[in-house]
Chains A and B, each alone.
Chain A
Amino acid sequence: DAGITQSPRHKVTETGTPVTLRCHQTENHRYMYWYRQDPGHGLRLIHYSYGVKDTDKGEVSDGYSVSRSKTEDFLLTLESATSSQTSVYFCATKGVLNTEAFFGQGTRLTVV
């Protein structure tokens, strides 16, 4: 998994609570991504980062924010969790010299 660790691996939270998912990489990759995976939708991009403190929105960014204060960590925050955010979340990274992205193991989030 190219040295990508997602935490937690599983989480159950209540509607309206804030939640933060962490992605940690040891590859010194410049680019980092958060995707969500849902039945019938495949992998959809939430937010991504070009580098430290440099982030941009993906196609499904509403209700999510991100931060990247150092190269190795990319945090995804659900500001006020809703049931529609129940999903499997994947972090991915890519180095400047890579063309493919490498994925973490995923985090299963359930909002009740």
Chain B
Amino acid sequence: GESVGLHLPTLSVQEGDNSIINCAYSNSASDYFIWYKQESGKGPQFIIDIRSNMDKRQGQRVTVLLNKTVKHLSLQIAATQPGDSAVYFCAENILPGNTPLVFGKGTRLSVIA
């Protein structure tokens, strides 16, 4: 199926541990950020988003942290499971979102059972 190639930063995590995936964004004017998950052979899927008026947002087992001072975004996955194995992308935009998302290069998360 369709998938990202092999030349990605890789994070290997033991099942049950927490994962932290980092992303540096480029545009200081960006005020909206998304994390996408891409499983092998599939298109990217939305996980969680955050607006620049927040520095933390929690979902189910996932938390996104935003540090606008250093233009850094992180995705924390609690109690990582084998189904979390995928490539994770951050994306940035300027609201109201009439311009396209700009994506980072991605990080491959590999969960060790």
Q: Which residues of A contact B (CB under 8 A)?
A: 1, 4, 9, 31, 33, 35, 37-45, 48, 50, 58, 88, 90, 92, 94, 98-108
Cβ of B100 under 8 Å from chain A = yes
For the complex, what is the distance from the CA of A15 to the CA of B41, rounded to whole Å? 25
Interface size class of B (residues with CB under 8 A): 20 to 34
Report whether B97 and A40 are in contact in the complex, using a CB–CB cutoff of 8 Å.
no
Report whether B100 and A45 are in contact in the complex, using a CB–CB cutoff of 8 Å.
yes
Q: Is the interface of B mostly helix, strand, loop or mixed?
A: loop
Least Cβ–Cβ distance between B11 and chain A, in angstroms? 16
Report whether A108 and B2 are in contact in the complex, using a CB–CB cutoff of 8 Å.
yes
Known: A43-B44, A99-B93. Is A48-B100 also a contact (CB below 8 A)?
A: yes
Report whether A100 and B46 are in contact in the complex, using a CB–CB cutoff of 8 Å.
yes
Known: A100-B49, A104-B43. Is A40-B2 also a contact (CB below 8 A)?
A: no
The one of A4, A42, A92, A107 in contact with B2, judged by C-beta atoms closer than 8 angstroms, is: A107
For the complex, what is the distance from the CA of A105 to the CA of B44, rounded to whole Å? 8
Name the residue of chain A whose CB is nearest to the CB of B51.
A99
Binary interface encoding of chain B residues 11-54 relative to chain A, with 1 for a CB under 8 A from any of its CBs, else 0? 00000000000000000000010101000011111100100000
Least Cβ–Cβ distance between B26 and chain A, in angstroms? 12
For the complex, what is the distance from the CA of A44 to the CA of B36, rounded to whole Å? 15
Residues of chain B lying within 8 A (CB to CB) of residue A100: 34, 46, 49
Residues of chain A lying within 8 A (CB to CB) of residue B45: 103
18 pairs, CB–CB < 8 Å, chain A vs chain B? A31-B98, A33-B101, A39-B7, A39-B8, A40-B5, A40-B7, A42-B4, A42-B103, A42-B105, A90-B43, A98-B97, A99-B32, A100-B49, A103-B36, A103-B44, A105-B2, A106-B2, A106-B43
